[in-house]
Amino acid sequence: MAETNTSHEPVRFETHPDRYVHWKLDFPAEHGGKVARLMMDVKEDRGMRPGYPLKLNSYDLGVDVELADALQRIRFEHPEVRALVITSAKDRIFCSGANIYMLGSSTHGFKVNFCKFTNETRLYLEEMSAESGIPSLASLNGTASGGGYELAIACDDIVLADDGSSAVSFPEAPLLAVLPGTGGLTRLVDKRKIRRDLADAFSTIAEGVRGKRSVEWGLVDEAPPKAKLEEVTKRRIGALVDRSTRKAFPAVKLPALEVKRSGEEPSADKQEIEYQYVTLELSPKQRTARLVVRAPSSKQPETPEELAKAGASAWAIQAFRELDDALLELRFNQPLIGVVSVETAGDAAAVLAVDAMLAKHADDGLVREVTLLMKRVLKRMDLTAKSFFALVTPGSCFAGSLLELALASDRIYMKDTEDEPVTVAASRMNAGSFPMANGLSRLQTRFLKEPERVSRVLEQGALTTPEAVKAGLVTFAPDDIDWDDEIRIAFEERAAMSPDAMTGMEASLRFAGPETMETKIFGRLSAWQNWIFQRPNAVGERGALTLYGKPERPEFNWQRT
């Protein structure tokens, strides 16, 4: 099946509850404002692009953009919330998962990025419970299949109405010849610890599992009669509120980002996207981009009280929200970009001052949320299928939290010059405030063979180019004479290599060290989904995904690899 996007409109990731189309966010009075409720009510005719109806609460990227926004706002704008309940506004259906016709009409790259974004959102939901003290409950008032059940198992507790028809299911393998691509199988056995044989049976029963059996197999926690679903939901959500460890702090409103875009006309050789602290310059013909993050240029909060007063304008919030938007722009709207130079500019001391405040007040509720935001954005960079080369030059400020940008890059080039000082510097925030998917800091991941180097880097302060090379922080250190040629050649060579090979190589190299549920999910997503979503059994002319909803039966190549 030839894959074509039906629209070339760029994807935008900013929204607001006032503009939600598919979700209703409220705070039921019966729980005293301590519970947030998200009700899924997908509008069939409001997909991100034409060509498919979103029937049965099926979702496309637009539905998940709203969900991600809601989770972020609950964390920052509603500090009074102690628990979250997710349910459906439709009768007898919770969510039928990702829209099949949307997937069938999308490019391969979009499908993989869609799966990746969706899973990042599920992980943020799990992080809300583990790190922010906001546990969640999925109250399934109807069937949850595919990605719908994946959303449910990202919650702490699941209750399913036992009404004779409502079920949980993973029908991807039997119906579409693909897999639950946003962590479903991994969460089934690693998180809910379902027995392998039962997980096998469950994942090949298209109609799913209902009622008592779903509880016996561990697929849900409770399956009350439909008439008692609301009562059980209230009881369980009350228990989640009681166990919440969330710390109070003043609410922080998240206004829309201000962004200027230029060069978007087809004839333009370069495009530029300018935020307050971030600039993204795009050169599609060269398949390269330049990502610049600037240090704060004004006085930043020195206490949690000042941070609350500054709100979303504080550099640590503003800059990382902008960086997140720029990374998503690269993923979804710039498929031809292969190599990105990662640069910083400004006063390193200003970045280190922000880090010192965050480290000193790490136990404060708002400071914690800001740090978690920064962590999530840096993880987004880890998982973005672009080659990142950090360029450390005079005027750079790769210090502390911005040093993480270099450590997240695939290579670090640091100019060796005596004319102007060129340094990098660590802070306390590099010691573990921003763990990767493998559970380690980027410094720990870098120095797996020589872990003693981590403490040395953290203790040494600012390092010149020779010192950084000796410390193991630099890949290459060209001098003034060779710098321009070496950087040009490096970018040209990388941009000329197979993007498929580079994506696979980078995904394999970025997560050295221990395996976690998260690294399993993204490793399998990169490998299995990349492979299965291109196989004829799924997307060929007679493939299961191609023929879904049609009377013809798929024709499989029966050879096992």
Contacts of 403 (CB under 8 A, 6+ apart): 424, 425, 426, 427, 430
Question: How far apart, in whole angstroms, are the C-alpha atoms of residue 13 and residue 329?
Answer: 9
Q: Which two tokens stand for residue 457?
A: 């880097």
Residue 3's pLDDT is 39
Residue 21's pLDDT is 97
Q: Does CATH place domain 17-243 in 3.30.390.50?
A: no
| Superfamily per CATH, domain 275-505 | 2-enoyl-CoA Hydratase; Chain A, domain 1 (3.90.226.10)
The partner residues of 290 in beta bridges, in order of sequence, read 281, 341
Contacts of 324 (CB under 8 A, 6+ apart): 376, 377, 380
Question: How far apart, in whole angstroms, are the C-alpha atoms of residue 277 and residue 397?
Answer: 13
Residue-range domain boundaries for the chain: 17-243, 275-505
Residue 513's pLDDT is 94
CA-based angle 123:401:523, to the nearest 5?
35
DSSP state string for 69-125: HHHHHHHHH-TT--EEEEEESSTEEEE-EE-HHHHHTS-HHHHHHHHHHHHHHHHHH
Residue 8's pLDDT is 64
The torsion region of residue 448 among left (phi > 0), alpha (psi -120 to 50) and beta comes to: alpha
Residue 532's pLDDT is 85
Where do we find the tokens 């997560």? 511
Q: Which two tokens stand for residue 231?
A: 């009562």
DSSP state string for 397-455: --BGGGHHHHHTSSEEEE-B-SSS--EEB--GGGGTTS--TTSS-HHHHHTSS-THHHH
Question: How far apart, in whole angstroms, are the C-alpha atoms of residue 67 and residue 119?
Answer: 12
Low-confidence stretches of the chain (pLDDT < 70) are 1-8
Question: How far apart, in whole angstroms, are the C-alpha atoms of residue 148 and residue 98?
Answer: 8
Query: Is it true that 17-243 and 275-505 share their CATH fold?
Result: yes
